Amino acid sequence: MINISNAKLADGSVVDVEIDNDLISKVTKSSGTVSNGSIDATGQILLPGLVDLHTHLREPGREDAETVLTGSYAAAAGGYTAISSMANTYPVADTAGVVEQIYRLGKDAGLCDVNPIGAVTKGLSGEQLAELGAMADSIARVRIFSDDGKCVSDPLIMRRALEYVKTFNGIIAQHAQEPRLTINAQMNEGSVSSRIGLPGWPAIAEESIIARDILLAEHVQSRLHICHLTTAGGVELVRWAKKRGINVTAEVTPHHLLLTDELVENYDPIYKVNPPLRTEKDVMALREGLAEGVIDIVATDHAPHPEEDKDCEWQAAAFGMVGLETSLSVVIKTMIESKMLDWSQLVDRMSIRPAQIAGYKTQGQSIQAGSVANLLLLDPSASWQVDRSKLKSKSRNTPFHGMTLPGVISHVIYNGKQTVIAGRVLNMDGDKNG
């Protein structure tokens, strides 16, 4: 039994919450007193646990960068009670065997739901469909399929994938990147790339695929999800598609809500990411798209890399940034502080909507009696300085190092069990938990 006293909910009401086993058993108007043994949430906000639909965990294959366990530590620290591991592991998560392995590792870690995403094509080759049905029928019950890291660029393969997953209400999450327009591309194509001489990655390389796939999804009446939207033009396309009633959803990453390509100026590979950081105008369009609901959700694209893959020259470096532990704070900074979202809308974009899209039934539930107790408690008035050496992730490649961000998570409850207690992640070794 866990009791939480004096917690403010997203709608502004102040409540006491009682948790019995894995369920919320009682939510009552706050008595104003903090009973013995209960969590004092005075001044804090209680939200449903966050749900991420785009997480790279690197296991199996690159356990030096992240494992399911260390990724789960990072997820818990960031307020996530469910994450979705992308398929680009070694071996690729393109069979029932691999997705079941990841699913089991997630269960063993026990800090959040780890839901594997299956590859669309065998080996992410873009050529032949993976056994989508076998992954859907496995104990991992995969519903999201993605070749993320690579684009399903062949329109015929994309069409077939969209059609095929209809049998089990699956969804194809597309990494929209036209490969021929991005050969050797290193950063956003624009005035900065021209000045500093890095091969450019034009916005249209992303937008042309989004446009094509929206039309394909309409034609075959299936569900399309656009991963990490980064351009103003992409927001326009999704807005158009939704108006037309096409079944498309879209995500934006925290880093694309805050950072721009100007940061690449010094060639520090910490800012190297796929898709690339874009311009101020794109950032503003993404924030508006998220506020409006054209962009449905925030997804982290948490992409851990070992030190040597970032401590090098730009072109030799790997693409990607870790994001689970900074995600909520960055969204508060960009969307709550600017008053573009209120807390209920933030909960929608980071918990309710992602759970709906993925069909995670025990996640994103409202805070009321009978709901599964997946919760986070946050001090919205406190702030913290990001320190790369203190990340719970195994990797350190955060672009936010040194930045002071709003919102400090104090407690996280996953299926009725405390996974973060007073800022400390359950079961972590002493030195990593500092």
Partner 1 sequence: MITGHLLSAADLSKDEALNLLATAKELAAITDGPNKKLPTLRGKTVVNLFFEDSTRTRISFETAAKRLSADVINFSAKGSSVSKGESLKDTAQTLQAMGADAVVIRHGSSGAAKRLADTQWIQAAVINAGDGTHEHPTQALLDAFTIKQHLRAKESDLSGVKVLIVGDILHSRVARSNILLLSKLGAEIVLVAPPTLLPVGIDKWPVKISYDLDSEIGECDVVMMLRIQLERMADSFFPTEREYSRRYGLNSARLAKLKKNSIVMHPGPMNRGLEISADSADDLKSVIVDQVKNGVAVRMAILYELLGGAPIGDSK
Residues at the contact surface with partner 1, assessed by CB under 8 A: 186, 189-191, 193-200, 202, 266-268, 308, 311-316
Nearer to partner 1, 41 or 259 (CB): 259
* 309 phi/psi in degrees, rounded to 5: -85, -5
Nearer to partner 1, 269 or 407 (CB): 269
Nearer to partner 1, 313 or 429 (CB): 313
Nearer to partner 1, 311 or 337 (CB): 311
Dihedral sign (CA 414, 418, 422, 427): negative
Q: Tell me the CB-side half-sphere exposure of residue 27, using CA atoms within 13 A.
A: 17
Q: Are 415 and 388 in contact (CB under 8 A)?
A: no
Q: What is the dihedral of CA 127, 236, 277, 149, to 10 degrees?
A: -20
Nearer to partner 1, 195 or 339 (CB): 195
Choose, from 16, 147, 148, 301, the residue flagged as catalytic.
Answer: 301
Smallest distance from the beta carbon of 365 to partner 1, in angstroms? 47
Other CB atoms within 10 Å distance of the CB of residue 341:
22
Nearer to partner 1, 202 or 380 (CB): 202
Q: Are 295 and 251 in contact (CB under 8 A)?
A: yes
Nearer to partner 1, 34 or 204 (CB): 204
Smallest distance from the beta carbon of 213 to partner 1, in angstroms? 25
Smallest distance from the beta carbon of 75 to partner 1, in angstroms? 31
Nearer to partner 1, 170 or 200 (CB): 200
Smallest distance from the beta carbon of 319 to partner 1, in angstroms? 15
Smallest distance from the beta carbon of 14 to partner 1, in angstroms? 50
CA distance 297 to 256: 13
Smallest distance from the beta carbon of 89 to partner 1, in angstroms? 24
Dihedral sign (CA 37, 38, 43, 45): positive
Residue 122: exposed, middle, or buried by beta-carbon count in 10 A (0-12, 13-18, 19+)?
middle
Smallest distance from the beta carbon of 228 to partner 1, in angstroms? 22
Smallest distance from the beta carbon of 268 to partner 1, in angstroms? 7
Smallest distance from the beta carbon of 198 to partner 1, in angstroms? 5
Check if 301 is active-site: yes
- Among residues 414, 57, 9, 362, the alpha carbon closest in space to that of 425 is found at 414
Nearer to partner 1, 183 or 422 (CB): 183
The Cα-based distances of 421 to 14, 69, 74 in angstroms read: 21, 18, 14
Catalytic residue set = 301
